[in-house]
Amino acid sequence: MSVQSLNYPSIAYREAGKFEEYRFEKIHNVIFESSEEASVIVAQEIADLIRSKQAKNKVCVLGLATGSSPIRVYEELVRMHKEQGLSFHNVITFNLDEYYPMKKDDQQSYHFFMHYHLFNHIDINPQNVHIPDGTIPQEELYQYCIDYEMRIKEVGGLDFQLLGIGRTGHIGFNEPGSHYNSSTRSITLDHITRIDASPSFLGINNVPRKAITMGIGSIKKAKRIVLLAWGSNKAHVIKNTIEGNITSEVPATYLQQHDNTTFVLDAGAAAELTRIKTPWLVTSCVWTENLKRKAIVWLCEKVNKPVLKLTDKDYNNHGMSGLLAEQGPAYDLNISMFNTLQHTITGWPGGKPNADDFNRPERALPVRKRVIIFSPHPDDDVISMGGTFDRLVEQGHEVHVAYQTSGNIAVSDEEALKYAEFSFEMTGQKDARLKSIIEALTHKYTSKDLDFEIRRIKGLIRRKESLGATRYIGLPDNQVHFLDLPFYETGTIKKNKLSDKDLTIMKTFVSEVKPHQIFAAGDLADPHGTHKICLDAVLETIKSLKGESFMKDCWLWLYRGAWHEWDTYEIEMAVPMSPDQVLKKRRAIFYHQSQKDGVMFQGDDEREFWVRVEDRTQDTAKKYNDLGLAEYAAMEAFKRYHF
């Protein structure tokens, strides 16, 4: 496979003779710790190409994508334009796709997206910008698509194509079933694609059913292709695309036939690749404690045995003979791993007073800790760690819950109407403001002022629900804090970046509490979304306060949001729950009534949040039990963030 671009660090790594690791892989790929770092390097490759074409007095033809994946690349190109004089005067662009039908000025249109993120900020000639037009009448669509394809040809073909990948394996909007030689055309969107797009359209019913997309054939003609994938949501499709067979069911696998493609991945998206997930199957490993834990837990699942029953043969047959030779026999490895796992279990998440804490996840002292539970939305606290929260309060710690955002956009208009009508009746039907809010909510119209008021009502609903839950757990109201971080308050799914205002609120709060323990939502692999921004806010805050004496003794524990759990090998503290505690947690979640019954932003998992988390905590308990440890009803899991 020839790879023209030498920008990517792992190419040098491969040249150093580490080919064996790539045994199952059919597409060149590079993995970065973060999407931030990766995006800067991709932008650099594009900028180098533009400049090299300029030096030769040639046009540079770029194929561009939308979606969350390329946003940071575009930001970096804009920065290079503004700060380093990178000019786009010789650039011609063709966007991959557009929803159909779709007006250009609609905020969900890819036309809007491209201008918002890139074209409005650079010196590209507007005539050189091509984005499929979602307003073309149906009867002209066929010819329009042929012309789009011809236009690419006329300017010499694509020099560079930037791609994202959908969970269906689509590139552009080439959904499963697309032909390897397809060209620009209209297409019906897959249901999964529509679900993924539904948050930005505020509900699946608003997502168009069709789109115009460049074809697989059009994309494959590009001289160079770079596909971006961020976050664990993409891990499965990335593994299937890179390691699977070419199939129209995963259209991105057609890229295996292109000889100058690089997939640029972050750690989350790469997590399922064989060389990352089970490196012992492809290469000899340096057996760190973490890798050993990962491998032995994997081996138990693979051979369906508890740790203490693993044999030398099991290790040898599954790529772990090196570990056996270094640290075996199996008997010794098994006992030591059993103890390691056992030591992660504790019913004392704030530390056990007057106990030897050498083998416990938390310190015994101070006996009464000040604890902050950061909850990105007003319900993640009880959903993700309701049992642990309850124990911390019961065991006498000074627990503070801080809701980082108002969570207002996840409340439906119907719910807001109910409360607006209630308040209107209770105040003698006199309040003109409430009357106009009721009118607006009933007849679905809005204005900037009313929008603000409606969001306020929605935020208040969530506040009162949260107080219901925290009171039920026994927390005094003065230990419940609503931070309402400003980055969230856009009224749409798209959030602002973290600003100094957000960080000042966070810092002031943490400095007042002076915590010994912080719990935060650790959706590390999620490249976008509120949870990731909220975690960034916590990490930034801790970093900027690290000089303070109280921070020297502060530990950070990460829980996972409603969507995923830590892998068993990653868990550093597992808090068991009795059947009664499971019930208590369920009741605490029930206080968040606006989030029940087919709430917005639920994704394609139709189970209500309390069902998901009960399944999840039972599953964690079962996995521990399958490894040969004690059987509990449920377990909440945490991973410590080591600074």
Which residue number, 272 or 453, has a Cβ lying nearer to ligand F6R?
272
- For position 172 contacting ligand F6R by CB under 6 A, the verdict is yes
**Residue (72 or 292) nearer to ligand F6R, CB:** 72
Can 175 be counted among the known catalytic residues? Answer: yes
Q: By CB neighbour count within 10 A (0-12 exposed, 13-18 middle, 19+ buried), where does 304 fall?
A: exposed
Q: To the nearest whole angstrom, how small is the minimum distance from the Cβ of residue 134 to ligand F6R?
A: 13
Using CB under 6 A, which residues numbered 316 to 375 contact ligand F6R? Answer: none
Q: Is 164 in the site for ligand F6R (CB under 6 A)?
A: yes
Q: Which stretch binds ligand F6R (CB under 6 A): 160-168, 184-192, 481-489, 571-579?
A: 160-168
Binders of ligand F6R among residues 441 to 500 (CB under 6 A) are: none
Among the listed residues 170, 293, 585, 623, the single contact to ligand F6R using CB under 6 A: 170
The one catalytic residue in 45, 76, 149, 175 is 175
Closer residue to ligand F6R, CB minimum distance, 67 or 349: 67
Q: Which of 97, 37, 39, 35 is nearest to 66 (CA)?
A: 97
Comparison of 35 and 408: residue with beta carbon closer to ligand F6R: 35
Crossing angle, helix 432-443 and helix 413-426, to 10 degrees? 150
Task: Give rounded-to-5 percent helix, strand, coil for the chain.
Answer: 50, 15, 40
Residues 61-80 as x/- pattern, contact with ligand F6R by CB under 6 A: ----xxxxx-----------
Q: How far is the CB of 269 from ligand F6R (least distance, A)?
A: 10
| CA nearest to 8, candidates 192, 318, 262 | 262
Number of residues that bind ligand F6R (CB under 6 A): 14
Label residue 468 exposed, middle or buried (CB < 10 Å: 0-12, 13-18, 19+).
Answer: middle
Tell me how far, at minimum, the Cβ of 67 lies from ligand F6R, in Å: 3
3-state secondary structure 420-467: HHHHHHHCCCCCHHHHHHHHHHHHCCCCHHHHHHHHHHHHHHHHHHHH
The residue whose two tokens read 């101070």 is 366
Query: CA-CA distance, 297 to 629, in Å (whole number)?
Result: 12
Only segment of 101-109, 161-169, 361-369, 401-409 that touches ligand F6R (CB under 6 A): 161-169
Give, as one character, the DSSP assignment of residue 205.
Answer: G
**Residue 186, interface with ligand F6R (CB under 6 A)?**
no
**Contact flags string 526-555 toward ligand F6R, x per CB under 6 A:** ------------------------------
Rg of the chain over Cα atoms, rounded to whole angstroms, equals 27
The answer to whether 106 and 112 are in contact (CB under 8 A) is yes
Whichever of 173 and 487 has its CB closer to ligand F6R, that residue is: 173
Instruction: Name which of 163 and 461 has its Cβ closer to ligand F6R.
Output: 163
Sorted by sequence, the CB contacts under 8 Å of residue 227 that are 6+ apart come out as 163, 164, 165, 171, 252, 255, 261, 262, 263, 264
Residue number of the CB closest to ligand F6R reads 164
Name beta bridge partners: 228. Answer: 264
CB of 96 to ligand F6R, least distance (A): 4
The binder of ligand F6R chosen from 171, 238, 480, 635 (CB under 6 A): 171
Residue 171: CB minimum distance to ligand F6R, A: 6
Q: Give φ, ψ of 498 to 5 degrees.
A: -60, 140
Residue 97 as a binder of ligand F6R (CB under 6 A): the answer is: yes
Shortest distance, position 325 Cβ to ligand F6R, whole Å: 43
Residue pair 71/114 in contact by the 8 Å Cβ criterion = no
Q: Is 96 in the site for ligand F6R (CB under 6 A)?
A: yes
Rounded Cα–Cα distance for residues 179 and 536 (Å):
41
> Are residues 523 and 560 in contact, defined by beta-carbon separation less than 8 angstroms?
yes
226 binds ligand F6R (CB under 6 A): no
What are the Cα distances from residue 255, in Å, to 222, 223, 321? Answer: 11, 12, 35
- Comparison of 264 and 613: residue with beta carbon closer to ligand F6R: 264
Q: How far is the CB of 65 from ligand F6R (least distance, A)?
A: 4
Q: Which listed range, 163-171, 313-321, 369-377, 550-558, lies at the site for ligand F6R (CB under 6 A)?
A: 163-171
Q: Which is nearer to ligand F6R, 199 or 628 (CB)?
A: 199
Query: Which segment (136-144, 159-167, 507-515, 529-537) binds ligand F6R by CB under 6 A?
Result: 159-167
**Contact present, 260 and 221 (Cβ < 8 Å):** no
Contact between 95 and 66 (Cβ < 8 Å): yes
Closest CB 398 distance from ligand F6R, rounded Å = 41
**Residue 162 or 634 with smaller CB distance to ligand F6R:** 162
Nearby residues of 510 by Cβ (< 8 Å), 6 or more positions away: 372, 518, 541, 542, 545
Binding region for ligand F6R (CB under 6 A) out of 171-179, 293-301, 350-358, 541-549? 171-179
Q: Smallest gap, in angstroms, from Cβ of residue 195 to ligand F6R?
A: 12
**CA-CA distance, 8 to 6, in Å (whole number)?**
6
Q: How far is CA 228 from each of CA 81, 131, 285, rounded to the nearest angstrom? A: 22, 20, 28
* SS3 state of residue 399: strand
Does position 405 interact with ligand F6R (CB under 6 A)? The reply is no
**Token reading at 586:** 């369920």
Q: Does 565 bind ligand F6R (CB under 6 A)?
A: no
The distance of closest approach from Cβ of residue 566 to ligand F6R in the complex, given in angstroms and rounded to an integer, is 23
Shortest distance, position 170 Cβ to ligand F6R, whole Å:
5
Q: Are 361 and 344 a contacting pair, CB within 8 Å?
A: yes
Distance CA 454, CA 416 (A): 7
Q: Does 166 bind ligand F6R (CB under 6 A)?
A: yes
Q: Taking contact as CB under 6 A, which single stretch among the options 166-174, 446-454, 473-481, 585-593 is the one that binds ligand F6R? A: 166-174
386 touches 472 (CB < 8 A): no
For the chain, give the number of residues: 643
Q: How far is the CB of 173 from ligand F6R (least distance, A)?
A: 6
CA angle 224, 22, 522 (to 5 degrees): 85
Q: In this complex, which beta carbon is closest to ligand F6R, that of residue 203 or of residue 366?
A: 203
Which residue, 166 or 208, has its beta carbon nearer to ligand F6R? 166
Site for ligand F6R in 574-613 (CB under 6 A): none
Q: Which of 96, 577 has the CB closer to ligand F6R?
A: 96
φ and ψ at residue 224, rounded to 5 degrees: -145, 135
Hey, which residues are catalytic here? Answer: 175
Summarize as ranges the residues that interact with ligand F6R (CB under 6 A).
Answer: 65-69, 96-97, 164-166, 170-173
